[in-house]
Chains A and B, each alone.
Chain A
Amino acid sequence: MQDLLYFIQQLINGLTIGSTYALIAIGYTMVYGIIGMINFAHGEIYMIGAYTALIAITGLAALGIAWLPLVLIVALICAMIVSSSMGWAVERVAYRPVRGKHRLIPLISAIGMSIFLQNYVHLAQGSRNIGFPALIEGGFRFGAEDSFQTSITYMQITIFATTLVCMTILSLFISRSRIGRACRAVSQDLGMANLLGIDTNRIISATFVIGAALAAVAGLLLGMYYGSIDPLFGFIAGLKAFTAAVLGGIGSIPGAMLGGLILGVAESMTSGYLSGEYKDVVSFGLLILILLFKPTGLLGKPEVEKI
């Protein structure tokens, strides 16, 4: 019984962290799906989302507004707007001018963007980590008083619920809406979409904006979950989300969701049963294994060679 509760606890922790990885991974996978390149500044966009949310929360507190749903919604909207603008700007500055050039060039310019944004936040907000108020506290406990208890906090429930809502909206948007339809067309054959009169530049901008907005959601959620943020906050999360995207099959949106959850659960199981120090070893080891045996990732489609 106790073992089972312990297992369930690891599962809950893993799914929580995994669903935020999935939110960030969407941004990598959508951009890759459309222009075939990795947005290396995506982790920074997520970090800026977390900072914006924190600034909004602090601002509201200074104004004396403390009604929780309002605070959360305002923080979320501010974070999404700022991050989306950043995502849009990254595409305009680091990708569009060098599109169609050698593949290494946008890679380098994106890394440059990432360094710039990181250092900008260092300058503007200081390099020390800043406490993020835990706005959502408390939770449920299961199991006997005198032995191991499984706990699920309201924060974890919020993370699940928010991720679920975001993923549902995204799926509907991609499958039903006019812009979603154009996104799929552009990702399959950009040249043909162009010929059919689709404004491919706008669609490419839209994918950066959507990915950035979801990263901002993750930034707010993880900021509250961890309780502190710093300018390097985006680096490791970005790396993990990138791993999740590759694990699930880069370019595939369901793949990014699945990859995020698998990675999160794998990490928390390692922390729970082995040692916390091994969790990165396991997640990146998993990536190497997947790449060895299924290079296109779990749900990725093999690239058809076009002649």
Chain B
Amino acid sequence: MLEVQNLSMRFGGLLAVDQVSLDVQEHEIVAIIGPNGAGKTTVFNCMSGFYKPTGGKILFEGKEIQGKPDYKISRLGLVRTFQHVRLFSRMTVVENLLVAQHRHLNTNLLSGILKTPNYREKEQKSLDRAAYWLDRVGLMDMANRDAGNLAYGQQRRLEIARCMVTEPKLLMLDEPAAGLNPAETKDLNQLIISLKEDYNVSVVLIEHDMSLVMDISDRINVINQGRPLASGTPDEIRRNDDVIKAYLGEA
């Protein structure tokens, strides 16, 4: 469903990403790993439209999306999170989920003022969906708190819920486990697997937590210094000599 072909990104004299290719099939969790500064987030930024890549192609469901503005890409169903939490921290938890459905509630101002049946029905639907996801990520009790007051792990879960209410086809998670304790990481593990199993969403994730990556990924792409180093199933990656060298250095 997503295909990245020979992606390159040059910042002035620095070639941050050099000929990286990867693909994501439907119903699949794909991880991108690599040492710090390898260019993983740059790949993400190109895929989500934050950067315009200097070379290569990105195909989403057969259509070229490289260089398209970010909001257009997200409307195609390719939604991402960031390394740091980017919630609307001064809005309540439930409002965060409602505002993410803004686009789906295509109503005009007049119907909002008059509260027409159509408007009410749509409002109710978005509330129901928000409630469903709050329950799903275990934040129902927090619904009316400001998002900024949640614990860090809860904020991470709320971010995923906020992506999910937009009904994405492909979810891109940038270091979802960063800053989580082992128990929270385990919960996250299960949540991500369930997104794939129960909601038929494909996931691309960047992660440093190897236990998470090895547990949930169907395939792994390793990037080192902007270049593709290896790709394969978790078992293959674990045994790959190049990968071991890149991570541990040569003996």
Contact = CB atoms under 8 A, between A and B. Distances in A.
B75 A189 contact: no
Given A188-B90, A195-B79, A182 B102 contact: yes
A185 interface: yes
A127 interface: no
Nearest to A181: B99
Interface stretch (B81-89, B183-191, B209-217, B225-233): B81-89
B66 interface: no
Given A178-B107, A182-B102, A188 B89 contact: yes
Contacts of A177: 112
A255 B230 CA distance: 56
Contacts of B100: 196-197
A254 to B, nearest CB: 13
B74 A196 contact: yes
Interface string B9-30: 0000000000000000000000
B70 A185 contact: no
A201 to B, nearest CB: 10
A181 B127 CA distance: 14
Nearest to B79: A195
Contacts of B102: 178, 181-182, 185, 196-198
Interface in A187-219: 188-189, 191-200
Counting chain B CB atoms within 10 Å of each CB, which of A189, A195, A200 scores highest?
A195
Given A181-B95, A195-B79, A189 B88 contact: yes
Residues of A contacting B: mostly: helix
A129 B70 CA distance: 51
A197 B75 contact: yes
A292 interface: no
A307 B70 CA distance: 20
A200 B48 CA distance: 17
A92 interface: no
A196 B89 CA distance: 15
A188 B91 contact: yes
A202 to B, nearest CB: 10
Counting chain A CB atoms within 10 Å of each CB, which of B48, B91, B100 scores highest?
B100
B123 to A, nearest CB: 8
Contact of B70 (A184, A189, A195, A199): A195
Contacts of B84: 307
B105 interface: yes
Contacts of B8: none
Interface residues of B, number: 26
Contacts of B89: 188
B99 A182 contact: yes
Interface in B62-100: 70-71, 74-75, 79-80, 84, 86, 88-91, 95, 98-100
Nearest to B74: A195
A192 B86 contact: yes
B166 interface: yes
Contacts of B103: 196-199
B109 interface: yes
B44 to A, nearest CB: 12
A195 B80 contact: yes
A5 interface: no
B162 interface: yes
A38 interface: no
A76 B207 CA distance: 58
A39 to B, nearest CB: 22
A170 interface: no
A107 interface: no
Nearest to A176: B112
B71 A192 contact: no
A179 interface: yes
A197 B166 contact: yes
Interface in B159-174: 162, 166
A192 B147 CA distance: 15
A184 B88 contact: yes
Nearest to B105: A178
Interface of B: 48, 70-71, 74-75, 79-80, 84, 86, 88-91, 95, 98-100, 102-103, 105, 107, 109, 112, 123, 162, 166
| A-B complex: 3 closest residue pairs judged by Cβ atoms | A197-B103, A185-B99, A194-B71
Interface of A: 177-179, 181-182, 184-185, 188-189, 191-200, 307
5 contacts: A184-B91, A184-B99, A196-B166, A197-B74, A199-B103
Given A179-B109, A195-B48, A196-B99, 4 more contacts: A177-B112, A182-B102, A188-B89, A196-B162
